Amino acid sequence: MPLFVTRRSYNASTGRFTHNRASVTRHVSVPDATSPGGDHIVDQATWLSLVKQEAQAGEILIFVHGFNTEQAEMLERRRKIELGLAAVGWTGLVIGYDWPSDGTVLGYLSDRGDAKHTAPYLVVDAIGPILNLRPQPKVHLLCHSMGSYLTLRGFSGVGDGGAPGTVPWGVDQVAFVAADADKPWMESGAWGALVMDLRCKRLTNYYSTFDRVLSLSEGIVHGQQRAGRNGMPVAVPARFHDVYCGAQYEAKVPPSGKTMRGSHTWYFDDPGFYADLAQTLKGADPATMPTRRPVAGSSDLALLT
Q: What is the pLDDT of residues 162-215, one digit of tens each?
A: 666 667 899 999 999 999 999 999 999 999 999 999 999 999 999 999 999 999
Between 262 and 287, the more confident residue is 262
Average pLDDT, the chain: 94
Distance CA 75, CA 91 (A): 19
- What confidence tier does 220 reach under pLDDT thresholds 50, 70, 90? confident
CATH code where residue 289 lies: 3.40.50.1820
Distance CA 81, CA 20 (A): 26
Distance CA 25, CA 124 (A): 10
Check whether 299 has a pLDDT greater than 90. no
- Please report how the helices 146-157 and 108-122 are oriented relative to each other, as an axis angle in degrees rounded to 10: 40
Beta strand spans in 151-284 (E):
171-177, 200-207, 240-244
Per the rule left: phi > 0, alpha: psi between -120 and 50, beta: everything else, 283 is left
Number of structural domains (the chain) is: 1
For residue 176, the 8-state DSSP code is: E
Q: Give me the domain span that covers residue 255.
A: 3-303
Query: In what order do the strands lie in the sheet containing 41-42?
Result: 41-42, 16-29, 3-11, 93-98, 59-64, 138-144, 171-177, 200-207, 240-244, 301-303, 292-294
Contact 278, 84 (CB under 8 A): no
> Which pLDDT value is given to residue 166?
65
Check whether 97 has a pLDDT greater than 70. yes
In the beta sheet, which residues pair with residue 29? 3
- What confidence tier does 300 reach under pLDDT thresholds 50, 70, 90? confident
Distance CA 237, CA 239 (A): 5
> Which pLDDT value is given to residue 150?
98
Reported as type and span, the H/E element at residue 76 is: helix 71-86
> Which pLDDT value is given to residue 219?
81
pLDDT one-digit tens code per residue, 242-269: 999 999 999 999 999 999 999 999 999 9
The sign of the CA dihedral 218, 305, 234, 156 is positive
- Low-confidence winner among 16-30, 98-112, 279-293 (lowest mean pLDDT): 98-112
Check whether 34 has a pLDDT greater than 80. no
